[in-house]
Amino acid sequence: MLYNTKWEPKRKEIFILKPLTKIFIDLPVPSNINYYWNLGSLLRFCLIIQLITGILLAMHYCPETIYSFDKITHITRNISSGYMLRNTHANRASVFSCVCTYTLVEIYTTIHEKTIQHEEIGITIYLIMIITAFTGYVLPWGQMSFWAATVITNLFSAIPYIGNTIVLWIWGSFRISNPTLDRFYSLHYRLPFILTTRIIIHIIGLHYENHSNPTGAQREIDIIPFHQYFLTKDLQTVIILIILIILITILIPYALTDPENFIKANPLVTPTHIRPEWYFLFAYSILRSIPNKLGGILALIRSIIILYLILFLKQKYITTGNHRPNIKLTAWLLRITFLLLTWIGRAPAETPYTNLRLIITAWYFISFTILLPTHNYKEKIIIHNIYPQNN
């Protein structure tokens, strides 16, 4: 038995609530898990707030190239609490991206054959989040929003034979105009609900099959229910996050916003340096690391595909990064690489930044294609020598 039956509430007797309570309330949890296990609840909380604020903003937004920029100004200045609403939505997207990226790198230290399917879903969730955030970045219709959409959509033109057709289909016209904004608005409104569905599937799968802990021991002892012990622990980090977001929204609401985006989109005036929102800069750096357009696109596609391929380096016996020092070190180097790619993504396309961008991108691929597989192979040899009967 996982824990004492006296903790099982009467709500488990209700047919409809029984599966929900098993997954979200009476979930058996190892007693030694730390604050890293709170990241999932933080992501869920961020998503809920994004959905609520997004729906409220959609009530006032108009996806027309003539009015969209003015509508954002109207929401911020004239609507009651519109300032807080809009800036909370924008800044929480940044927090959501930070936590999601950190979690994405961490899963490569704990790849296990029992959780590989859930980790694939997690990577897919991350990619959907990136697309959702990009479509939302275009909606204010400022200078940087317009030209970021122009640059990113034009990347498809590098595809042989059908590239220009795809670009025209995305635009819905012969240039970025009302049909393009309608498409982005439609995607930005609908993708979060698809994202929510994937997250629910992800949560159910993890809670049913995985009770991981820092020691990596897969034992059904020293287990306690999620409610009320870890629910209060999750609430602590959520409250800290709320305070952080409120402080950012009140004190420095536009610290992460490009100044060019305070200017209404003008197709006749190109900004000196075109760059996306800061949480896209790591991908933008990989894209610009190759001087050739098609080469940059292929590098970006490979950087995404490699996230899935590396999951095949699964371990059967080691389920925590605490017992894998080399993998743990590589994971921290990857986090530093993400930060460096983000930093170099803001730099102009000139020497020495072009060379640095190429070096950091090369290190990104080396980490995934050489370091992680090498460390994983060494670990398997060690395990085989220690426990030959289990291989």
> pLDDT tens digits, residue range 227-266?
777 888 888 889 998 999 889 888 988 888 888 899 999 9
Q: What pTM was computed for the model?
A: 0.85
Domain that holds residue 206: 31-214+224-375
**pLDDT mean across residues, the chain:** 82
Asked if the structure places residue 14 within a domain, the reply is no
Alpha-carbon distance of 133 to 139, in angstroms, equals 10
Alpha-carbon distance of 188 to 192, in angstroms, equals 7
- Tell whether the model's pLDDT for residue 7 goes beyond 50: no
CA 139 to chain centre: 20
Residue 17 — very low, low, confident or very high, per pLDDT cuts 50/70/90? Answer: low
**CB-based contact 120:259 (threshold 8 Å):** no
Alpha-carbon distance of 95 to 92, in angstroms, equals 5
Asked if the structure places residue 15 within a domain, the reply is no
Alpha-carbon distance of 383 to 390, in angstroms, equals 9
pLDDT at 1: 43
Residue 226 — very low, low, confident or very high, per pLDDT cuts 50/70/90? Answer: confident
- Tell whether the model's pLDDT for residue 98 goes beyond 70: yes
Asked if the structure places residue 56 within a domain, the reply is yes
> pLDDT tens digits, residue range 306-330?
888 877 766 666 666 666 777 778 8
Q: Given the DSSP bridges, would you call strands 223-225 and 28-30 parallel, antiparallel or unpaired?
A: antiparallel
Is omega for the bond preceding 253 within 30 degrees of 0, making it cis? no
Asked if the structure places residue 6 within a domain, the reply is no
| Residues β-bridged to residue 224 | 29
Alpha-carbon distance of 344 to 364, in angstroms, equals 13
- Tell whether the model's pLDDT for residue 2 goes beyond 60: no
* Segment (H or E) for 5: none
Asked if the structure places residue 75 within a domain, the reply is yes
Residue 370 DSSP class: I
pLDDT at 131: 92
> pLDDT tens digits, residue range 30-67?
777 777 788 888 888 889 999 999 999 999 999 999 99
* CATH classification of the domain holding 326: 1.20.810.10
| Cβ-proximal residues to 384 (8 Å cutoff; 6+ apart), any chain | 391
- Using CA atoms, how far residue 282 sits from 225, 276, 304, in Å, is 39, 10, 12
Alpha-carbon distance of 196 to 199, in angstroms, equals 5
Split into its structural domains, the chain has a count of: 1
How is the chain split among helix, strand and coil, in percent rounded to 5?
70, 5, 25
Asked if the structure places residue 343 within a domain, the reply is yes
Alpha-carbon distance of 338 to 289, in angstroms, equals 14
pLDDT at 231: 81
| Residues β-bridged to residue 142 | 264
Asked if the structure places residue 115 within a domain, the reply is yes
Say if residue 133 is exposed, middle or buried (CB neighbours under 10 Å; 0-12, 13-18, 19+).
buried
- Tell whether the model's pLDDT for residue 115 goes beyond 70: no
Asked if the structure places residue 345 within a domain, the reply is yes
Alpha-carbon distance of 196 to 86, in angstroms, equals 21
Regarding predicted confidence, which is higher, 114 or 246? Answer: 246
* Segment (H or E) for 303: helix 293-309
SS3 112: strand
Q: Residue for token digits 């021991």?
A: 217
| Cβ-proximal residues to 100 (8 Å cutoff; 6+ apart), any chain | 43, 125, 126, 129
Structure tokens at 390: 């289990």
User: 122: alpha, beta or left, given left = phi > 0 and alpha = psi -120 to 50?
Assistant: alpha
- Using CA atoms, how far residue 249 sits from 244, 260, 330, in Å, is 9, 20, 34
Residue 146 — very low, low, confident or very high, per pLDDT cuts 50/70/90? Answer: very high
Of 74, 86, 108, which is closest to residue 321 (Cα–Cα)? Answer: 108
Regarding predicted confidence, which is higher, 186 or 273? Answer: 186
